[in-house]
Structures are given as C-alpha cells and as structure tokens.
Homo-oligomer: A and B are copies of this chain.
Amino acid sequence: MSYEQKLKELQLKLPQPPKPLATYVPAVLVGKLLFLSGVLPMRDGQVAFAGKLGRDLTVEQGMEAAKLSLLNVLAIAKQELGTLDRITRVVKVVGHVASAEGFVQQPQVLNGASDLLVAIFGEAGRHVRVAVGAAELPRGSAVELEVIFSVS
C-alpha cells in the first residue's frame, strides 16, 4: 500500500503547508536528502499549541502538538515531492519541546510524532530522534520539529 493510501486509510488529512514568513524556504533537496525547515503545530495559519510543557500543557496536549506538527511536516514534503510515495526513509527528527523548569518528558511528547511516522511509513518510518527541551520557541509554540527525509 502506498503512503498516500495509508494516510487515507488512517483518515488523516494534511493541512495547507505553512508558508515561511521570511527569506527561507520550507524544504531543500540535496542529492537524496530532503531537509525541512523547523515546523510548528500550525492550524489555519495559527500556532495551535502555545505554552510550555510542565506548566501550560499536559503531556497529552504536547503529544497532540507533536502530531499536528508532523502533519504539517508531511504537507510540506508532499508539496515539495508531489507525493509522499517518493519518500524512501524518514531519516531524522529533532524535536524541540518548550520546557518549563523540571519538565523532562520530552520523549513522551515526541512519541506523538514518532508513532504516527511508523503508522504511515512502517519500517521506512523508523527514524533517529533527538529530544531536547528548549527555553523558548518561535511564536510561543510548544513544539518544533526538524526533519530529514531520504527520497527516490
């Protein structure tokens, strides 16, 4: 089954890909590596999950933020590649989680993105991951994802 079909089967709908607000671009392809800009949990042009984990949001809300960020990641990848089926591997996800003092469950938060990647891409969705607690993120976002794909 293609990744595009899998997305439908999972009843996931990709949002409009977010537009960069400055002189950078959403994605750059070099050789077989597709690098993406940092992606926030955007919905209808707004950051849908603002605030810090451990203070303003629960781990469950953080997971939702990670999942929504990932749908935006996929929207950008599709925009760049025409179809998600050109993706041969999800290589790397760095997940920045806005963290209040003492919050150390960044991995749980990011499972919201990682689990979805594996649900859609299967073995090809198994990526390396770096979970980090950020002091602050753009526009007060709770999560920011930094992703590299390999493509055919």
Residues in A lying within 8 Å of B, measured CB to CB: 20-28, 30-33, 35-38, 54, 89, 91-94, 96, 98-99, 101-107, 110-111, 114-115, 117-118, 125-141, 144, 146, 148, 150
Contacts and interface: CB of A to CB of B under 8 A. Distances in A.
A94 B146 CA distance: 9
A132 B144 contact: yes
Q: How many copies does the complex hold?
A: 3
A54 B140 CA distance: 13
A59 to B, nearest CB: 13
Nearest to A21: B107
A103 to B, nearest CB: 6
Given A102-B136, A132-B38, A139-B104, A111 B26 contact: no
